[in-house]
Amino acid sequence: MTPAIELCATRRAFGSVVALDSVSLTIAPGEFFALLGPSGSGKTTCLRLIAGFDQPDSGTILLDGEDVTNTPPFARNVNTVFQDYALFPHMTVAENVAYGLRVRGVAAVERAQQAAAMLDLVRLGEFGARRPHQLSGGQRQRVALARALINRPQVLLLDEPLGALDLKLREEMQAELKGLQQRLGITFVFVTHDQGEALSMADRIAVFSQGRIEQLDTPRQLYNRPQTVFVASFVGSANVVGREAARLLTGHDRAFAIRPELIDLLAAGEPAADGQVECAGEIVDVLYHGASSRLRVQVDERTTLAVARSEAAGGGVQGLTTGARVRLAWRPDHAVPLQD
């Protein structure tokens, strides 16, 4: 099957700053794909190149097998939901949604019908006559979605689509976006700096750092088997143990990551199970989170490990107080080796 999007060794520099450093990427049709990374990591540049707002210095971009590297945005079958939504303030909501049809010369009656249908799809049927400034953030977001989808693009690009929404709305929209994507079967590519958002929505995630892709994997793989120190610390809340500290703890000269929930707390005198890595330390603090508790244990001068304890499993933290000495243990295969 022809990939929906293919980037081949694309590079883009702004002056001396390399925003995107020879990135190659293949996105399958119908995939929900996330570009995840901190600000300045190159993820937005990557999206802008796919949309055509910017051209790479070198490398090629293929859409549905066709080279579009130098094709202007209006000639690409790709539509974008902008971070600030970029709704036209001088048009009504319905006119905004119908804009893509209008510039393609679709007759007024026809485009009014399609715009109404699109607005129904995003549950804004009654809002067609309003102006964008009369809508809430979440509603504007849905107008931007409807406007981008009316052209029936092969690919929908979303730039930090939920960044401007409050937490509750963001969770609602996550589910809505995911549902919409499954119903329409369009390839969605979205940029985010929120790892939770990426993990919950995407089929696959490319983690960007300093203009490169650190790791490209499914959310599950990314969470459970991070490959680099950067990915382990950016995705989820793993303990990342650097090379020096790892040598002291395990004897191996390799950085690793371990999830707080995979570290056991040994009772006094209880021996570690066979083959487990064991260490001791002093409790720095204990935080009660309701369903679980989290304590941080300093195991050597520079290394503090977070340990999660499920309250339900009887593993409460009663009696564990700041300053107490405890012993920790984990299975070696739970520690994920990392590249620096």
Partner 1 sequence: MAGRAEFSLQGRQAFYFALLLAPPLLWLGIVYLGSLLTLLLQSFYAIDEFTARIVPEFTLATYRQLLTQPAHIDIIVRTLLMATAVTLAAAVIAFPVALYMARYAGPRTKALFYVGVMLPMWTSYLVKVYAWRLILAKQGIASWGFEHLGLMGALDQALAVPIVGGPSLASSYIGMFVVFVYMWLPFMILPLAAALERVPASLLQASADLGARPGQTFRNVVLPLALPGLAAGSIFTFSLTLGDYIIPSVVGAPGYFIGMMVYQQQGTAGNLPLAAAFSVVPIVLIGLYLMLARRLGAFDAL
Residue 14 sits in the site that holds partner 1 (CB under 8 A)? no
Which residues are CB-neighbours of 194 under 8 A, at least 6 positions away?
Answer: 162, 163
To the nearest whole angstrom, how small is the minimum distance from the Cβ of residue 131 to partner 1? 9
To the nearest whole angstrom, how small is the minimum distance from the Cβ of residue 43 to partner 1? 17
Place of tokens 């079958």: 77
Taking the least distance from each CB to partner 1, the nearer of 22 and 83 is 83
Taking the least distance from each CB to partner 1, the nearer of 102 and 294 is 102
The tokens for 239 are: 């303990």
Residue 140 sits in the site that holds partner 1 (CB under 8 A)? no
| DSSP letters for 166-232 | -HHHHHHHHHHHHHHHHHH--EEEEEES-HHHHHHH-SEEEEEETTEEEEEE-HHHHHHS--BHHHH
The Cα–Cα gap between 192 and 32 comes to: 13
- Binds partner 1 by CB under 8 A, chosen from 16, 17, 39, 90: 90
- Binds partner 1 by CB under 8 A, chosen from 56, 100, 161, 211: 100
**Contact yes or no for 83/193 (Cβ under 8 A):** no
- Binds partner 1 by CB under 8 A, chosen from 9, 24, 38, 53: 53
To the nearest whole angstrom, how small is the minimum distance from the Cβ of residue 33 to partner 1? 18
The window from 99-107, 222-230, 313-321, 325-333 that contacts partner 1 (CB under 8 A) reads 99-107
Residue 185 sits in the site that holds partner 1 (CB under 8 A)? no
Taking the least distance from each CB to partner 1, the nearer of 152 and 302 is 152
**Contact yes or no for 295/339 (Cβ under 8 A):** no
H helices of 225-277, in order, are 229-234, 243-250
DSSP lists the bridge partners of residue 122 as none
- Binds partner 1 by CB under 8 A, chosen from 36, 51, 201, 307: 51
Binding site residues, partner 1, CB under 8 A: 51-53, 72-74, 78-80, 82-84, 86-90, 99-100, 102-104, 147-148, 151
